[in-house]
Amino acid sequence: MLSTLLLGAIAVIALYLLSRYQSLARNLAAARSSGLPIVVTPWYVYAVPSLATAWLWLPLLKRLLGSRKWVE
């Protein structure tokens, strides 16, 4: 019983991740066709949690990514 539930949960997660990847690939193709610069982030940077904790992770990103230009 437990193995069936675990296998089902893994299958659902795999299908979800596959659909997210396909959406990202489709959106990247559309963005590339526009000719504009593309920035891909693992999260929506204008979401409330990201904005509320920006003081926490923004200095770390600046240190990790080097001398890129950042808007403050």
Per-residue model confidence as pLDDT tens digits over 51-68 = 898 888 888 877 877 755
Residue type, 38: I
For residues 20 and 14, give the distance between their C-alpha atoms in angstroms, rounded to a whole number: 10
Looking at residue 36, what DSSP letter applies? S
Tens digits of residue pLDDT in 3-49: 899 999 999 999 999 999 999 999 999 989 998 888 787 778 788 98
Domain total of the chain: 2
pTM: predicted TM-score of the whole model, two decimal places:
0.55
Residue 70 pLDDT level (bands cut at 50, 70, 90): low
Residue with tokens 């659909």: 19
Domain of 24 in residue numbering reads as 1-38
Claim to verify: residue 8 and residue 20 sit in the same structural domain: yes
Which residue has 């659902």 as its token pair? 12
Which helix (H) or strand (E) segment is 50 a member of? helix 48-52
| Alpha helices by DSSP H, 1-72 | 2-34, 48-52, 54-65
* Co-location of 31 and 59 in the same domain: no
Whether residue 71 is predicted with pLDDT greater than 70 in this model: the reply is no
